Amino acid sequence: MYKRKKISYLPQQKTFGLNVTSMTDMFTILLVFLLQNFATSEFSLDPDPAVKLPSSTETKAPEKRLQIILNSKELKLDNQLVLSLDTTTGGTSLDQQSGLKINRLYEALVQLKEKNTQDASVIKGEILFQADRNQSYKSIQKVMYTASQAGFPKVKLATLAGN
């Protein structure tokens, strides 16, 4: 009959080596993913102590951008005093034609827009507006009108989450 050939197999290894390249790639991708999510996470907004923000059901965190703060005594642009609120109601700081544009705020915003050609929120014309909940609609309207006239049409109102 036929003779069987003896086939020799290589001895099998009982342990195996780790493929470090694949594991390094996996950890690199994981690290990049975590860093991107950390970098785009929420911006910490510190409200002005004199401002009592209105509450809202919105839970989305605000993005970092130029801030206008309107409290009961003053109007600030990025924590720098622009003018006292009692002069806002007087005719000296308002534009005579519209009666809505606050001249000092307009000048400060235009000057800021000319200086900051690198800041993305300034280029896009985005503002985060903190207004006291007790402010009149007319005061808020004047600030928003002035911002839009100065080239900042995208105004987001800051609120407190909850209640």
| Higher local confidence (pLDDT), 27 or 160 | 27
Spell 80-93 as b/e; 16+ CB within 10 A means b. Answer: eebbeeeebeeeeb
- Highest mean pLDDT range out of 18-22, 37-41, 86-90? 18-22
Task: Using a pLDDT cut of 70, give the percent of the chain over it.
Answer: 72
Choose among 162, 148, 136, 157: nearest CA to 62: 157
As a whole number of angstroms, the distance between CA 87 and CA 36 comes to 45
> Residue 10: is its pLDDT beyond 70?
no
Q: Can you give the pLDDT at residue 88?
A: 45
- Give the mean model confidence (pLDDT) for residues 88-115: 74
pLDDT of residue 1: 60
**What pLDDT is recorded for position 86?**
64
Tell me the domain boundaries of the chain.
55-161
How crowded is residue 158: how many other Cβ atoms within 10 Å of its Cβ?
A: 19
Q: What is the pLDDT of residue 45?
A: 67
For residue 64, name the pLDDT band (cuts at 50, 70, 90): confident
Looking at 8-159, which runs of residues are DSSP E strands? 55-56, 66-70, 74-77, 80-84, 126-131, 154-157
- pLDDT reported for residue 93: 65
Are 107 and 99 in contact by the 8 Å Cβ rule? The answer is no
- Tokens coding 151: 């080239």
Residue 41 has pLDDT above 50, yes or no: no
Regarding predicted confidence, which is higher, 89 or 115? 115
Query: What does the pLDDT look like over 48-57, one tens digit per residue?
Result: 777 787 777 7
Position 96 scores a pLDDT of 59
pLDDT tens for residues 120-142? 777 788 888 888 888 888 888 98
| 60: pLDDT strictly greater than 80 | no
